[in-house]
Amino acid sequence: MNFTKIVMSTLCVSAAVGACAPKAQQVIPCDKAVEAKVEKVLSGMTLQEKAGQLVQLNISTLEDATREAIDPAKLDKIIGQYKVGSILNVMHDAAHSREQTAAMVRQIQEKSMEAIGIPCIYGLDMIHGASYLTDGSLYPQEINLGATFNPEYAALMGRAMAYETRAAQVPWVFSPVMDLGRDPRWPRIWESFGEDPYLQARMAAEETRALQGEDPNHIDLQHVAVSIKHFMGYGVPLSGKDRTPAYIAENDLREKYFAPFLACFRAGALTAMVNSASINGVPTHANATLLTGWVKEQLGWDGMLVTDWADIDNLWNRDHVAADKKEAVAMGINAGIDMIMDPYDPECCNVIVDLVNEGTISEARLNDAVRRVLRLKVRLGLFDKPVWDEVYPDFASEKYARESYATALESEVLLKNEGVLPLKENSRILVCGPNANSLRTLNGGWSYTWQGSADDYVPQYNTILEALQKRYPGQVTWVPGVVYDGSDWQKDVVASFQQVKNEAKKADVIVCCVGENSYCETPGNMDDLNLSANQKQLVREAASTGKPVVLVLNEGRPRLIGDIEPLCAAVVDVMLPSNFGGDALAALLSGDENFSGKLPFTYSKHINALHTYDYKVTEHRETMEGSYNYDAVMDVQWPFGHGLSYTKFDYKNLQVSAAEVKAGDVLTVSVDVTNTGDRAGKEAVLLYSSDLVASLIPDVKRLRGFEKVALEPGETKTVTFRLPASDLAFVGGDGRWRLEKGDFRLSCGGLGTLVRCTETKVWETPNI
């Protein structure tokens, strides 16, 4: 029996009968009017029209010879003949204005309504704002939002992204990204909110609600549908390379990797994009257990699953679990895929027709998938308004610029400071390094273009160099020292070390800006996590002058710098703070603003010791003969949650509402935080738990809550957390959630207290 038949024999997909068929659990409330509209449209569709709704093509299939406009003949073929239901991406991998994008979508919609009577749905990779529009607003990348430990910034970005995307007549974004960034080798770590499941879940769910609004059944003209991605386990490939296999313990898959997706499904996410690679040898696009079992059946989720780029083809031409395209299409749809992103080939529509006619794809599965596509379009109001004439006065407004700047301010992390910061007002500053005078490096990938060619589109914003020159007029000298080779994002070349040393003689401080050029996805694969040899040598040459070096890291992942960090008087990781990142850094280095960012990942120190903060108790280097030390830390450069300020915060009076708990209880945990310094500051207060004895080896600690507080000098605030006892549960070896009797240590700001669970409870339901 081949793999397709195995999937078909074990998979049961129940199609809804009538409107709002009862389900044991349903994360998005059923709306009878929505369902009635779906059934009415479905009942009048031909098989070809149904097949077309399950296919999404790249806009390149519609481009004319100029690659800047739509070819009417191609449009007639794709929409009129094949009945394709969705288009994505931008023409010629070049950003377009709001007006140009809107005009293109209008043309497609007019044809779709004329030829099919069903609106097309257009999708764009808006990752950190309206990032595919030349005139849209960009925010810091998600890794920076994670560093703020402030969900309000995820909400601000989500609302702006939705508003400006809708202004361009696009109702669907492939965002937010919530792959756990737990392996710094992976080239997409910067698209995530960090390594922790709880942080990722909080931020992603907040962005999801902001993008879609409060009612997922009725998305208004200022909101869009999300496609949460990439479901799931995509961010931890064994090789560290993009789109390569992951091997994840079943309990970790449920407990950690599913957590952010579960939070977003519960927040009303209407679509999800599937992991391009495989988990434990099974391609995710063919994994009926995850796609249909975990999501559609266990959650009662009635949204739509879309593939990633050409991943149905990968089932046969890369993964070798299908013999050919036809078998791969059947395998994916029968596993639970509802829309196939087959970017170049409309023949996929005819393949689906053939598979249904021969019974390899059942009519029930076909109709279920079509319902999910139609339901999305009804919820977005596209049948009533395939295009709209709404006015968007806040598009690219000063309001969004202020929000982007504020996010950058709270996301840049001060990792080390030996008294050189803030810079003195009369400082003579030498700026060097390949990242000092580049907007492309501040933005990263998915910025105007796929690989982030931002310098071609945003001359009005300030690089780090320009921002420092404006803040310290006449006091800044610029010598690059090392520059990027435009032929390859990983390559840099030496310009002149001697010139750096010569200019350093006239400077009081050297601001050395190093890191990475922009990249995205597989082109970002690399073989050495160390910062490049040329950039490390630049730091050594700068330090050899005897002038204090402020090392500015502008990077999408934590590149190893253990050998040069001791040479630097201060280290700041700005990550990818986008267009206002240079201005924010100048304000922070000068002391006009105060640092408050904290690392949302572990900054590793050694190439063969890449850890996350929630490692097992058996892993830490200070364990001796079975003795546990829960305050021990790995030998890392900087731990998760590390971040300095120009002021000091003191923690006292950690209190819990009860010394003993049962499974249904909710603990209240409070701590007093005081600003003991002489200037205002913000502090991200992080609450952790440690399970002292468990039936599986426990993690050293897990993040259970966080809150960002602003404190004036001498001010004290009591921070209170609500902690359900069920949050202390873990997934056991049997795949079930369990909370076990025993002691738990709660810790916050260096303080700790014990809480005892007095009962063991095992949940039968997979999601608690």
Chain mean position to CA 144? 10
For residue 577, which of 567, 566, 564, 587 has the smallest C-alpha distance?
587
Can you tell me which residue has the tokens 């009538």? Answer: 18
Can you tell me which residue has the tokens 């991998």? Answer: 93
Q: For every residue of 254-304, which 3-state class applies, written as one string?
A: HHHHCHHHHHHHHCCCCEEEECCCEECCEEHHHCHHHHHHHHHHCCCCCCE
Measure Cα distances from 333 to 274, 327, 486 in Å.
12, 10, 42
- In terms of DSSP bridges, do strands 225-231 and 172-173 run parallel, antiparallel, or are they unpaired? parallel
For residue 596, which of 442, 414, 420, 720 has the smallest C-alpha distance?
414
Amino acid letter, residue 50: K
- In terms of DSSP bridges, do strands 751-757 and 742-748 run parallel, antiparallel, or are they unpaired? antiparallel
Residues 6+ apart with CB under 8 A from 370: 42, 45, 50, 53, 54
Q: Quote the strand ranges of 433-478, DSSP E.
A: 476-478
Can you tell me which residue has the tokens 């392996």? Answer: 183
Residue 588 CA to residue 107 CA, distance in Å, equals 47
Among positive and negative, which fits the CA dihedral 535, 538, 544, 545? negative
Give the CB-side neighbour count of residue 193, counting CA atoms within 13 A.
29
Residue 559 CA to residue 606 CA, distance in Å, equals 10
* Catalytic positions, written as ranges: 308
For residue 710, which of 146, 150, 144, 141 has the smallest C-alpha distance?
150
> Measured between alpha carbons, how far apart are the two ends of the chain, in Å?
37
